[in-house]
């Protein structure tokens, strides 16, 4: 095992763990109520940071030898992923009424599941 292999495995793990933290936290907030978001706001931020760092590294690694259709799907995935990350960071702000927060979480959860689907498709493109 060389350093690049270990680094790629660790960053892939960080990406999956970040997605679990962010999407799981948003889904929990959607199901159990938004008051619980304040308790794990720092976990959402850590997951978002892990997603950005590990996703950027994986994007750079794969971009040169990408199969047909990869760039368009990744562009859509990145935009939807940024939507999910932005909502997860905005939920901790003061001054948002409950209806608006609920609408934001619902949209982010839907976008997050689409991101997971696109990730599965992009990962298996040949």
Name the residue among 97, 91, 109 with its Cα closest to residue 28.
109
Q: How far apart are the first and last CA of the chain?
A: 25
What pLDDT was estimated at residue 74?
Answer: 94
Give the domain range for residue 93. 3-123
86's CB contacts (< 8 A; 6+ apart) are: none
3-state secondary structure of 97: coil
Quote the CA–CA distance of 98 and 79 in Å, as a whole number.
25
126's CB contacts (< 8 A; 6+ apart) are: 67
Question: Which CATH number goes with the domain that contains 114?
Answer: 1.20.120
- Domain total of the chain: 1
What pLDDT was estimated at residue 36?
Answer: 67
Report the predicted TM-score, pTM, of the whole model to 2 decimal places.
Answer: 0.86
10-residue averages of pLDDT along the chain (126 residues): 90 94 87 74 88 92 86 94 90 78 91 95 87
């Amino acid at each position: 095992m060389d350093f690049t292999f270990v680094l790629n495995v660790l960053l892939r793990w960080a990406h999956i763990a970040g997605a679990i933290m962010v999407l799981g936290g948003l889904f929990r907030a959607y199901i159990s109520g938004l008051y619980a978001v304040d308790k794990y706001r720092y976990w959402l931020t850590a997951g978002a940071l892990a997603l950005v760092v590990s996703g950027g590294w994986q994007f750079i690694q794969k971009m040169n030898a990408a199969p047909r259709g990869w760039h368009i799907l990744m562009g859509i995935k990145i935009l939807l992923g940024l939507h999910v990350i932005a909502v997860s960071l905005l939920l901790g702000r003061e001054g948002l009424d409950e209806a608006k927060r609920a609408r934001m979480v619902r949209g982010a959860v839907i976008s997050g599941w689409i991101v997971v689907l696109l990730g599965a498709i992009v990962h298996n493109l040949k």
